[in-house]
Amino acid sequence: MQVHSMHFKARAGSALGDEVLQANLRKFGASGFALSRAKAVEAYGAAEFERLRTAGAAIRDRALATLDAYIERFEREATRRGATVLFAETGAEACDLVLEICRRHGVKKAIKSKSMLSEEAGLNEALAAAGVEPVETDLGEYIIQLAGEAPSHIIAPAVHKSKDEVADLFAAHHHQPRKTDIGEMTREARAVLRGHFMSADLGISGGNFLIAETGSGLVVTNEGNGRMVTTLPHVHVCITGIEKVIPTLEDFAALLRLLTRSATGQPISNYVSVFTGPRRAGDRDGPEHMYFILVDAGRTNLVGGDMQEMLRCIRCGACMNHCPVYKTVGGHAYGWVYPGPMGAVLTPSYVGLENALDLPHAATLCNQCGVVCPVRIPLPELLRKLREQQVERRLRPKTEMVALRMWGWVAQRPRLYALATRWAARFLSVLGGGTRRIRRLPGASGWTRERDFPAPQGATFRDLYRKARASAD
């Protein structure tokens, strides 16, 4: 997908001005996943859930510590069970591999269940350009495919759309009378999708995890589309990141308990589909040909570096569900595949720090994300490290750097600092006038455009304290 992350500020600005989007985001914030998660954690037992988070982080770290060995094990086991395991270094390479599979099997139509990696790679565009029709079958993904948009949330891709907007889309694309009842709309989409399920010759799925010990892939869905995509067409391609390989099914059991509770507050998703090899003799269903495409696309660059902990991510979306910034501007503002705190770490890591300068700064560091992350990724710490890397590589604006250095320099010189703050307190206090507030502050219009700046009391604590001590003595 094209990267627009350099324009976060402008995109956030237009998101704030979009009344429909703001209404949709308010609804998401009020009744959304955060609340469901809180209930699920309470039901599970808060202390027990904390232990589970610790276990989840340890499982992910153990897998990542010797990822190369687990990938080889996965390749061996999957191959032994009749699947073909392919590797791609970049998204573009992954697209080429899929297109080659399409040519080999004469594919005309591909049905897809959710895959964020295919968004990274721009797979739908590549398929369409090669004459293969891609059809998204996750309802949210289907909606944004009709709209020609990118997902705004990693598990609820169309969360930025209102019911009315979806009704308009369906009416325009399904050529049926416009419906506004959600049940009816869903049934209509289901009927349309059913035709695609039956006529597709390729199923493309993502993979929540790959299991090294059995050579299996796994998808977690609520709509059952994942199961149809992975069993109905005669060819199935599972495309996912190399970091998704975990050692055992038992590891998966623990991660699944974390994943669904953290994502939607469900104890378990409606469907958990495990696929191991193509259809065997005597199997009643399943694809005849099965491929796994493991994609790097920047992941190995994170191994052994400051951002390694980010590779633990199990893509639940809890960080964005709890992020004050995400909840205010929505996912499209972030400008690439992954929004919210995890996106603010992943985007610069995958597409380059210089191509996403704003993202590490587009956070209040409130640590809501850090305390809900099911695998204890210290997201605020990672954002802070990215900020440090920007400074080290001199990627920040000159004025910002000078101001920062000045502050640090003066704060290390107490007498100069005392003088500077004495004058600042007086000056700002005078600016505050009788109302004790400043409505316009030169150099800080970012603050005062939509907020007053309360005026200081006029003298510094330092001066008042010294005087009080002097008169007491």
Q: Which residues bind another protein (CB under 8 A)?
A: 9, 12-13, 16, 324-325, 328-329, 361-368, 370-371, 384, 387-392, 396, 400, 404-405, 407-409, 411-412, 414, 417, 421, 424-425, 437, 444-447, 449-454, 456-457, 459-462, 464-466
Q: Give me the residue label for tokens 């059809």.
A: 135
Nearer to another protein, 280 or 440 (CB): 440
Nearer to another protein, 83 or 369 (CB): 369
Nearer to another protein, 174 or 385 (CB): 385
Instruction: Return all residues near 389 (Cβ < 8 A) that are at least 6 apart.
Output: 306, 353
Nearer to another protein, 104 or 461 (CB): 461
Among 427, 429, 416, 428, residue whose Cα is nearest residue 462: 416
Secondary structure (H, E, C), 89-134: CCHHHHHHHHHHHHHHHCCCEEEECCCHHHHHHCHHHHHHHCCCEE
Burial 124-134 (b: 16+ CB within 10 A, else e): bebbeeeebeb
CA distance 252 to 142: 28
Nearer to another protein, 272 or 371 (CB): 371
Min dist. Cβ of residue 299 to another protein (A): 24
Min dist. Cβ of residue 62 to another protein (A): 24
Paired sense of beta strands 109-112 and 202-205, if any: parallel
Min dist. Cβ of residue 35 to another protein (A): 10
Instruction: Return all residues near 126 (Cβ < 8 A) that are at least 6 apart.
Output: 95, 98, 99
89 residue type, one letter: E
Min dist. Cβ of residue 115 to another protein (A): 30
Q: Give me the residue label for tokens 């990141």.
A: 241
Query: Which structure tokens are listed for 466?
Result: 């010294």
Min dist. Cβ of residue 432 to another protein (A): 11
Min dist. Cβ of residue 404 to another protein (A): 5
Nearer to another protein, 69 or 407 (CB): 407
The upper half-sphere exposure of residue 128, i.e. CA atoms within 13 Å in the direction of its Cβ, equals 8
Nearer to another protein, 128 or 430 (CB): 430
Element (H, E) at 275: strand 271-275
Min dist. Cβ of residue 253 to another protein (A): 29
Query: Which structure tokens are listed for 423?
Result: 């004058």
